[in-house]
Amino acid sequence: MSEAWSEGYFTDEGYTYGYSREINPVFQRYCLLLRGFASLESASAYHCELGFGQGVSVNIHAAANPGCYVGTDFHPAQAAHASALATACGSDARLYDDSFEQLLARDDLPQFDSISLHGIWTWVSRDNQKLIVEFARRYLKPGGLLYISYNCFPGWSPSAPLRQLFSLHDRFGSNASVRPAERIDAALQFSEALLAANPQYANTAPNLSAKLQGIKGQNRQYVAHEYFNRDWNCMYFTDVVDALSPAKLDYATTAAPLDSVDPLNLNAEGMAFLESIEHPIMREQARDYFVNQHFRRDLYLRGASRLSAAERREGMLNTRFVMLQAAESVPGAVSGPAGEASLLAEIYAPVLEALAAKAYVPKTLRQLLAATPSVPYGDLEQAISVLVGMGVVAPCQSEAAEKLVQTRCAALNLHLCKRSLFNNHIQILASPVTGGGVPISRFQQLFLISIKQGKKYPAEWAQLAWGILGEQGEGIVKEGRPLSTAEENMAELLAQAKAFEEKSLVILKALKIV
């Protein structure tokens, strides 16, 4: 790690290859529409992502959305990885390894329709937070949106001192020459020993030991960047509202559709109490206490334009939706801070049936309303919101936008499938329909390669996958047990290939990934 450029950020371990749907412009516009805010789809939009990590999300979105993307991540290895993905799909995304200060000093940047930063705000210094705000003030268009996610209080209050222990041990109790994973393990062991010595802190924060055990079981790349940075500025919601105000940004809504379903989040007393609070910012902050919020995903607007009830309804009716998994595999319940709620069969059964009709092709809410005469409009809209929140349904961009990005999506997806021949790092492909990513496992990507080669039967797909895995000395772990023989591995791959043919292919065709 070079202290000259890292500024205390944990750069010894690269970040994970995860994907964040909240950065998808299509998803962001849906979240705004859900709460009655206007936002327009534009084929010439400019989008920016600050701190893009390995670049999976920014490249998925640059491939699957019309317009242009700019982004930065000051870790040069991550920026190089992201740039290679951009080159593979021909998106012309401009991806830099600039610091926020260097990015702000550029004179070749456009005005942006959206700026997004996922999981960055908490882990940079106060000076860098000010640079982010200044960047938004200078480069976000009037009417533009900013997405920001961050750790917050009160949810983090019990665990914040534990995170501080990790970082301090890495700073003062570890040898910098030791491998990052070993330093992380040493810090976790130190913290475990401290809690075992019964400090008074442990008595005031229940379940700390369970929390620590959960952290020990997590991916080390994630743990490194979540818990081991020098800077960690956890804030209350209102602190972030105040910090963003110099950029003329107003809080609009969360990028979490389930937040709009009050019974999932609040008890009756909580709903009544929040209804009594007139000021929207005070009400939102008070809500964090009721749900014990520890991580927020928020959308801000630079000049919010409110829709009338009629305009909002018309916008919702014209929005297309598509399923991301087979209807029969959708869970029968959904969980929230207030507990678990069953999906009422009289509402969700006809809605899922309508979504699955005609080989799962996308359908507008207007078409779904006509196809489910027994479901009132309000119930239908909420059901779709719940299904989107669960990640089993996604809003779609226009058919015109979809056509503009099909070639780029196909190029990126082919590149990612080819990478699956060697590793399982990126298990996501781009959909021109949703403008975002769709989870596709490594084995499923190998099956798609087989299909691309003209192989028609699951046995052939499984054979290709096992040929790759066997040659690399790898095998399948099923229910925690490694499969030891070629016959066992092949049988499992064949079962997965048959399930892929029966349930997944029709979905991927509707999403225009196949």
| Per-residue pLDDT tens digits for 394-431 | 999 999 999 999 999 999 999 999 999 999 999 999 99
Residue 224: C-alpha distances to residues 9, 61, 174, 413, 478 (Å): 10, 26, 14, 29, 28
pLDDT at 19 over 70: yes
Residue 403: C-alpha distances to residues 316, 400, 407, 434 (Å): 22, 5, 8, 12
What is the predicted pLDDT for the residue at 3? 47
pLDDT averaged over every residue in the chain: 93
Listed residue (435, 430, 496) closest to 461, CA to CA:
496
Mean pLDDT of 356-364: 98
194 — pLDDT class (breaks 50, 70, 90): very high
| Per-residue pLDDT tens digits for 300-320 | 999 988 999 999 999 999 999
| Helix (H) or strand (E) run with residue 151 in it | strand 140-151
Which tokens go with 216? 């020990």
State how far the Cα of 14 lies from the Cα of 2, in Å rounded to an integer: 14
356 — pLDDT class (breaks 50, 70, 90): very high
The number of residues in the chain equals 514
The full set of domain ranges for the chain reads 3-153+234-301, 160-227, 320-395, 405-510
| Per-residue pLDDT tens digits for 256-287 | 999 999 999 999 999 999 999 999 999 999 99
pLDDT at 13 over 60: no
Q: Is the dihedral of CA 179, 184, 190, 193 positive or negative?
A: negative
Helix, strand, or coil (residue 28): helix
Mean pLDDT of 61-80: 96
Q: Which has more confidence, 370 or 171? A: 370
| Helix (H) or strand (E) run with residue 185 in it | helix 180-196
What is the predicted pLDDT for the residue at 418? 95
**Region for 18 from its dihedrals, namely left if φ exceeds 0, alpha if ψ lies in -120 to 50, beta otherwise:** beta
Helix, strand, or coil (residue 478): strand
State how far the Cα of 366 lies from the Cα of 45, in Å rounded to an integer: 27
What is the predicted pLDDT for the residue at 7? 54
Correct CATH for 3-153+234-301 of 3.30.450.20, 3.40.50.970, 3.40.50.150, 3.40.50.700: 3.40.50.150
State how far the Cα of 424 lies from the Cα of 464, in Å rounded to an integer: 16
Listed residue (83, 50, 49) closest to 69, CA to CA:
49
Mean pLDDT of 464-473: 92
Which tokens go with 397? 């961009």
pTM of the full structure: 0.91
State how far the Cα of 511 lies from the Cα of 435, in Å rounded to an integer: 10
Write the DSSP symbol of residue 333.
Answer: E
Measure the N-to-C terminal CA separation of the chain; round to a whole number of Å: 42
